[in-house]
Structure 1
Amino acid sequence: MDSSNDPELRIQALKQPLWIGYGRAVALRQQMEELFNHPRMHRMPNLAVIGESNNGKSMLLNNFARRHDPTLAPGYSVNDDKIERPVFLFQAPPEPDEGRLYNRMLTELYAPGSEREPAESKLRRVSVILKALNTRMVLIDEFGFFQAGTPMKQRKLLNALKFLGNELQIPIVVAAVPETLNLLQSDPQVANRFEPVFLPKWKMGEDFQKLLATMEKTLGLRLPSNLAAESSAQRILDESNGIIGYMSELLQKLAIDAIRSGAESVTLNALKEANLKRLGWVHPSRRHRYAG
């Protein structure tokens, strides 16, 4: 059977994660590329990618890592003779604890140790392993423990990152929500090293309409939806709060329904509140409210 005629196979393809190369994201990726190629020095420049939750920070870091990290390539085996990891991506622990940070890194590096191992020992092992892997950049996703832990623990973790960057002479890129800026700026030495760059919420305009036109092409529908038209674009903007992750989720729901129903298009009627409710769509602002 031709998979292009099987609705469920089309829906499975639609659910695969997909990089949307819009202007701001491509510009930030290029900035990361320049950091990646920066000559080694004691005081390496770093980046803090700042944006609302679900607004594309993780997708940006993952896309960059896939372009440079052979361990993320199809068919990679940890038993390969020659292993290099030029870009090391991992998710930060949920609270600012130096030992947990190293534990997370060591686990991702297939070298976990004892919980009782001193932090200094873990740091030495992280440093040795990353040097052996020829790591040239560290990416830390979900760097969002700005409300957790004591100020002392927060400072110790920031100092650990600063030391790691100095020891390896490589740049560090963190992805965080806007509130984390206060944490990074609490230490002048750290603030001077982490340049903040922003992924802002979307607003109505030509760039947003171009984004929707690009996203429409990824839906795999057989009829045009004209999502970039002002009326449809405004509805999508309103329902997503200008957050690209919610846009993707909303359009995926609508496209799945269009495939299963045979409509093969996301119409303005499909974007009406009653239809979105039928599909189980909940506006982002109402998702954390108790509905008892």
Structure 2
Amino acid sequence: MDDFDDDSFNDVLGSMEMPTSPKKPKVQPSTIQPVPAATSTANSSNNTSASITVAKPASNPHSVLVHSKQRGNPILKSIQNVPLEFRDDIVPDYVVGRTSCILFLSLKYHNLNPDYICQRLKALGKMYELRVLLVQVDTPEPHNALKSLTRISLLADLTMMLAWNAEEAGKIIETYKQFEKRPPDLIMERVESNPHQKLVAALTNIKPVNKTDAVTLLQTFGNLGNVITASEERLSQVMGLGPRKAKRLFKTLQEPFLNK
């Protein structure tokens, strides 16, 4: 089923308990009624009124907590670098950190049961700060379904990740766990501290000058000041630069820094 009833979705979403910011996950164990997790072959459940809390931490802090309903999911075969701990007392499909969880959804299953993800999110409530919706794209025409899931993700404060096969889905779960405690600057742009590298980086900001061109310019002219004062003709004579790059570089270097 590729066409979804907007009114039906709006009614379900309107009844969902959306997270507020900041969100504080509950960490005390409690008696719960587990909510079934989604797999490519799972059966949906109509029980969305269960009493739920975040389960106690894993016995091994390096383990990914996996809902028992996920046993048999092919994506588990691709999670090889972190241990798995199967539990019945978790609401999401995977817990990859104290404040991070993942809901898995096969797009083929979603097309057959479009209300399923809304029921899962209603059960999840305000739990967890990072809430990932991992969608395995396993249908030939995914656009309409992905459009509706994108809308749901925006409303329910979800980060939607797409995987195109089971192996890729498993690696995404594994990566979230491996990077659980990594600092944010790990993926931030590196700021060069070497003066020469800073000059090279500055020149490569001028398109279409590349890093090799920038190094050649500095070696040819000795410093940035000489590059700036060089004529267009002289710049075009630099090995590998050529008339087109020289013209663009000369024009950029002659532009005033401040607009009058």
Pairwise same-fold verdict (TM > 0.5)? no
Higher relative contact order structure (alpha carbons within 8 Å, sequence separation ≥ 6): 1
Which protein has the bigger helix share? 1
TM-score by length of 2: 0.28
